[in-house]
Every structure is written in structure tokens, then in C-alpha cells.
Amino acid sequence: MEANHTAAVPKRAPGSLRRRRRMLAWVFMLPLLVVNVLVILGPSVATIYYSFTDWSGLGPAEFVGLENYREILSDGDFYLAMWHNILWTLIFLTVPISMGLLGAFLLSQINRFQIFFRIVYFIPYVVASVVNAALWQNILDPDRGIGSTLASIGIPFLDGVSFFGSERLALPAVAFVNNWAWWGFVVLLFLTALQSVDAQLYDAAKVDGAGRWQQFINVTIPGIRPTLVFVVLLTIINSLLVFDYVYIITRGGPAGASEVVGTLMYKEAFERFEAGYAAAMGLGLSFVSGLIVLVFIFLRRRGWEI
Amino acid sequence: MSSATGSAGAGRGSHREPSKIPYYVVLTALALFALGPLVILLFNALKTNAEIGQNPLGPPLSPVFENFSNAWTQGDFATTMVNSAILTVGTVVGVCVIAGTAAYALDRLDLPGTDAVLLYLFVASAVPFQLFLVPLFFLWSALNLTNTLFGLVVIYWAIFSPFATLLLRSYLVALPRDFEEAARIDGASELQTLLRVVLPLSWPGFLTVALVSGLAAWNEFFFAITFIQDDSLKPVTTSFLAFQSDFSTDWGLTSAAGFIIILPIIVLFLFLQRRFISGLTAGGLKG
């Protein structure tokens, strides 16, 4: 291959060749560094600065010190939104993880149709969130949705219930839709982990007379613990930062009943033109999620078996 | 509770296998939960509005296909599909080039500070958009990059390439270097080596990166709605949101529009499901 260049290489001193390769390495790295500094690193650093300013997004920013942070800590809307994030986290730590464990465990026990079920469970995860939201808005419609259909066959308790329009139900209803698109992904994560659990451990447990439930608790759960911990971490972070489904379906309404910090911050920045305040909120949110990741890493380093 | 259970993993059973029927019942119920709503979407796309009024969730009794052509014209899919295609192809090509060269530099060239770059990539692939959104928006406004497809593609390059680089690097690490050494001894330049030796050997990694970033770009909502307000530049996702609120009572029409958006993804997914699933779960596990 390219034999005509052969003569050039051996004559060059090894040192200069290494230098040339280093230079080339940076050239190859350059596109990634340029777009990353422009889009992520630069604006992230700017967020720190703007979080200390009163800034509308247009014109100059006025330095106000810690004023934005003081305001956040006395902002009732913020506390309500944060509370909704906590509820959201609790829902996603229980429902999809239980469904994921159940689905993955059952799938690991069968051969026939395993691929079929895997594909089916994964489909909602690859479908665009706007379409998922729209189809559930139709199915859960108070007048023409599942409530009225059930009522027509004699089960009236959901008739006329406005899932997304009621202050009590809006948040869990949006979480339900988001979970529908998410749990299949959790199944696949757990299934991959389950398939690497040593089958001999199950045999040993059976010899010891362990039933299915004991096998699940004593063999399955310890066997997939790294994945389980990872999914818990991913769930907490995603729940802190949730935006898409809330914004698409309810925009945080009715009357703030499904507002989360992600949507609140978005409104501050682009509807109320409080860009400095929004920057402080975004930085606080990122700080908390970064802190959670660091705590996990720290505990793992300290030898916790998580 | 029976003590005989199939071994986990391969699932090949022991001698006295208990009935697997209860497993299949639960698995089927979960499958109906996953697929049922999408089937209802297709049903409604095939109904007139009058029929939806009578029968909002069941199968269409006399299927009609006008909803698809009406949704296509009224939703201006001729424009938005092209926008989404430009965004998706631009993202895929850009991410493959940016992440491909970066992964090559990290694993095959003597990049000083490789560890620091890797750490940055891990952090960058997990950074929440809340951290950089506000200044990024006003920077893009100042650079006249809002309301341009190019401006949006650059954002997708930046947010998808850190993960793609890590994924491609993990492919490269496992790839033997003998062929490259041979090419280098033959005097091929690094770019030639990358294009003619490494690329043909690591195409599965590039295909995975292309699928994952292409899917993300096609479905992306948040940056699209923030950075593109001009109707003629909207991708299918944000255009659908506006379409849905304009025709909120015409379920046949909005269901057909929704189905048009998801059909290409579902077809592609069914053909390449193994690669999709491994790529997306690898993304999840890398975190």
C-alpha cells in the first residue's frame, strides 16, 4: 500500500515524528474541542457569571451579587416546583424500576419470543416525545377517552375525569406518560445485567432450597447491583432535570400544579426575560445533580458495595 | 412456590420445568401496555372524525386514508420533513467526523493529556442543558444562529459528540493495530490510515453512533423549540406540536400526522433493532 512513500519514513528522526503525531493529534481533536467550547463549556462558564447579575437577555447585565440566589430561596413557585421534582423522583424510583425488574426477570426465564418482547418494550422509547404525548392526550381525554369508553360498558368511575386538567392529577398523569416511554429502556438495561449473572449461583441457591423469591433477593439483586445503582442514579438526575413531557403536555399547569424546576427556569428565561435569575436556577440545579453524582462516586470509592 | 426454576441467563431449563405460561401472560400484558397506545394512534389515523366520536379507541370499522394526505399538506410535511432530514443527516455526518477523528486522536495518536480529555468528555456527555442553555441562546442570537438549521446542527454536534467519541474509542481500543502499522510503514498519512484502514474495520461502531445520534436528532424537541421559531424551518417534532394545537379536535388528522413522524423510525428500528438497543443501552450505561 502506498509503497512510493516508503523511503520518507525511516529517514525522519523518531523525535520529530512523535512531535508531528502530537500536533496531528490536536488537529484531529480540534473539531470536537471547538464545538464543545462554543456550545457547552463557554456558555456553562458564562452561566456562573450571569447568575450573579440582573439580566434580561438583551443589553448589559447588572452585577447584583447573591441577589438571585436569595430570591430563589424565598420564591414559593420554586419550592413548589422542587417539591414536584421530588414527587416525580419518587414515582420514577418505584414504578419503572419495579416494571423493569419484573420484565427483565421474566424475559431472562424464557427463550421463545424473547426477542419479540424486547423489541416491543423498546418501541415507545424510540418514538418522538411529542407524538407519545399527543396519543396519550387523546386516550386520556375526559370526553372521548378511556373514561367514557369504560363508562359505556358500565365502569363509570373514570368518566369525565380530566387527567391533565386537574390540579390533583396533572403531575402523576404526565409522569405516567413519561414512564410509558421509559420503562422498556429500564427492562433492557436490567436484562443485559441479568444475563451476566452466573447461572451456577442459581443452581447453588436451589440446592440450598431457596424458592424463586429468595433466589431473586439473594442471587438476582446482588448480581445486578451495579446496574441497579446506576439506574437509581440516572433516575434521580433525570427527575431533577425533567422538562420535555411536562412542557409538551401541561406547560406546568394547571395553575402550576405540574410545574417542575426545568419548566419554571425556562419560563423565567424566555417568557419573563429574567435571564440572570434563570441562570442562577440552572446553575443551582446543575450543582445539585453534580453533587449527587459526586456523592455516589465518593461512596463507591469508600468501598460501599453500591 | 416451586423450587425448580429455569437458570437465568440462557434460560435453558432444568429437568422439571414449571409451566412458563404465567410468565407469558404477564409479558403479554406488558407488551399490550407498550404497543396498545401506538395501535390506537394508527386506528384513529384511519377513522373519520365522525367515527372517532362514536368509537374513539376501537379499530376502524370503515378505514379511510384521507387523513394521511390531508395531514401531509396541512401540516406542511413537505417542508418539515426536509428540515428534519437536513438536521438528522447533518448531525449524523458531523458527529461521525468529529467523534471519529477525536477517538482516533485519543487512542491512536499521542495526544498529550488524554486522561484530562477523557474526563472532560465524561462530564460533557452528562452535563444538563440547564447549565448552558441561557447564555447559549443569547450567544446564538448575537451570532444570528437562531432560526437557522445550521445553528441547531452545531448544538447537536456539541451535545452528541462527547458520548459518540467515548463509544468509538471503546471500539478502537479493541481493534488490532497491525494493519495500521503496516499502512504507516508503507508511508500512508494518518488521515489515509484513518480513512482506508481504521474506518473499514470499525464501521459497526460508526453505524451505532450514526443510529443513536440520528435518532436523537430526529426526535429532539427541547433545542428545536427553543432555537427555531420560523415555521418554514421547524422540524417535524415542533411543527407537530403547533399542528396539534391548531387541530386539537380533529384526532384523525393529528393521529395521522403523528404516525407519519414515527413510521420511519419504527421501520428503521425494526430492521436494525439489535444495533439500536446495544447503542442506546451503552449510552445509558456510560452515563
ipTM: 0.88
A286 touches chain B (CB under 8 A): yes
- Contact list, A219 vs chain B (CB under 8 Å): 8
Determine the distance in angstroms separating the CA of A197 from the nearest CA of chain B, rounded to an integer.
7
Separation CA B218–CA B207 (nearest Å): 16
Cell numbers representing residue A100 in the block: 423493569
Which is more confidently placed, A297 or B165?
A: B165
Could you tell me which residues come within 8 angstroms of residue A58 by beta carbon, excluding any fewer than 6 positions away?
A273, B138
What is the residue-averaged pLDDT of chain B? Answer: 88
Q: What gap in Å lies between CA B246 and CA A74, rounded to an integer?
A: 38
Task: Give the span between the Cα atoms of B4 and A204, in whole angstroms.
Answer: 12
B87: contact with A, CB 8 A cutoff? no
Q: Which of A29, A209, A244 sits opposite B102 (nearest CB)?
A: A29
Lowest mean pLDDT among A54-58, A90-94, B29-33, B102-106: A54-58
Query: Is A129–B221 a contact, with Cβ atoms under 8 angstroms apart?
Result: yes
Q: Which of residues 78-117 of A touch B (CB under 8 A)?
A: 99, 102-103, 106-111, 113-114, 117
A146 contacts on B by Cβ (under 8 Å): 57
CB < 8 Å to B157, chain A: 35, 39
The interface residues of chain A toward chain B in range 232-251, judged by CB-CB distance below 8 A, are 233-234, 237, 240-241, 243-244, 247-248
Report the distance separating Cα B171 and Cα B165, nearest Å. Answer: 10
For an interface test with B, the pick among A131, A177, A232, A293 (most B C-beta atoms closer than 10 Å) comes out as A131
| C-alpha–C-alpha distance, residues B229 and B143, integer Å | 16
Q: How far apart are CA A232 and CA A244, in angstroms?
A: 20
pLDDT, tens only, B75-98:
999 999 999 999 999 999 999 999
Identify whether the C-beta of residue A100 lies closer than 8 Å to the C-beta of residue A231.
yes
Q: Is B37 touching A (CB cutoff 8 A)?
A: yes
Are A3 and B187 in contact by the 8 Å Cβ rule? The answer is yes
Q: Which residue has the higher pLDDT, B35 or B1?
A: B35
What local confidence, expressed as pLDDT, does residue A13 receive?
54
Tell me how far apart the alpha carbons of residues B170 and B183 are, in angstroms, rounded to a whole number.
22
Instruction: List all residues 6 or more positions away from B69 whose beta carbon is below 8 Å from its beta carbon.
Output: none
Which residues of chain B from 129 to 148 reach within 8 Å of chain A, CB to CB? Answer: 129-139
A216 vs B: CB within 8 A: no
Contact flag A123-B35 (C-beta cutoff 8 Å): yes
Distance CA B60, CA A205 (A): 52
Closest CA to A123 of B124, B208, B38, B4: B38
Helices (H) and strands (E) in chain A, counts: 16, 2
For chain B, say whether A20 makes contact (Cβ under 8 Å): no
The CA dihedral of B182, B184, B186, B192, to the nearest 10 degrees, is: 110
Distances (CA, A) of B257 to A105, B65, B262: 37, 12, 9
Kindly report the number of other CB atoms within 10 A of residue A200's CB atom: 9
* B100: confidence class by pLDDT, cuts 50, 70, 90: very high
- Residue found by looking up cell 455526518 in the block: B93
In chain A the domains, ranked by start, together with CATH numbers, are: 3-46 (no CATH), 76-255 (1.10.3720.10)
Contact between chains at B10 and A199 (C-beta distance less than 8 A): yes
Whether residue B160 lies within 8 A of chain A, CB to CB, comes out as: no
pLDDT in tens, B47-71: 998 898 888 888 999 899 999 999 9
**Residues B169-190: tens digit of each pLDDT:** 988 888 888 888 888 888 888 8
Pick the closest to residue A135 from A249, A234, A28, A238 (CA basis): A249
Grid cell for residue B57: 379507541
Tell me if chain B has a CB within 8 Å of the CB of A165. no
CA nearest A125: which of B255, B269, B286?
B269
Helix residue ranges, H only, A109-209: 114-126, 129-139, 146-152, 170-194, 199-207
Q: Is the pLDDT of residue B285 over 60?
A: no
Q: Is B80 on the interface with A (CB under 8 A)?
A: no
Residue B276 and residue A106: Cβ atoms within 8 Å?
no
| Whether the predicted pLDDT of B122 surpasses 90 | no
- Cell matching residue A57: 437577555
Q: Which domains occur in chain B, in start order?
A: 1-64 (no CATH), 71-286 (1.10.3720.10)
Choose the mutation target among B122, B134, B260 for the interface with A, i.e. most A CBs under 10 Å: B134
Close Cβ partners of A224 (under 8 Å, ≥ 6 residues apart)? A190, A193, A194, A197
Task: Quote the Cα angle for B259-B222-B42, to 5°.
Answer: 10
Q: What is the pLDDT of residue A301?
A: 80
> Are the CB atoms for A135 and A179 separated by under 8 Å?
no
Q: Is B199 on the interface with A (CB under 8 A)?
A: no
Q: What is the pLDDT along chain A (306 residues), one digit of tens a residue?
A: 344 444 344 445 567 777 887 888 899 999 999 999 999 999 999 999 999 999 988 888 889 999 999 999 999 999 999 999 999 999 999 999 999 999 999 998 888 999 999 999 999 999 999 999 999 999 999 888 888 888 888 888 888 888 999 999 999 999 999 999 999 999 999 999 998 888 888 888 888 888 888 888 888 888 888 889 889 999 999 999 999 999 999 999 899 999 999 999 999 999 999 999 999 999 999 999 899 988 888 887 876 655
Length of chain A: 306
Cell of A104: 427483565
The percentage of residues in chain B with a pLDDT greater than 70, rounded to a whole number, is 92
Residues of A in contact with B158 (CB under 8 A): 35-36, 38-40
Average pLDDT value for residue range B252-271: 95
Contacts of A210 in chain B (CB under 8 A): 3
- Cβ–Cβ of A43/B139 closer than 8 Å? yes
CB–CB contact A244 B222 (8 Å): yes
The C-alpha atoms of residue A247 and residue A242 are separated, in whole angstroms, by 9
Report the C-alpha gap between A138 and B244 in whole angstroms. Answer: 11
Which residues of A fall within a CB distance of 8 Å from B31? 117, 120-121
According to the model, what pLDDT value does residue A10 have? Answer: 46
* Model pLDDT, residue A9: 45
Q: What is the DSSP letter of B49?
A: H
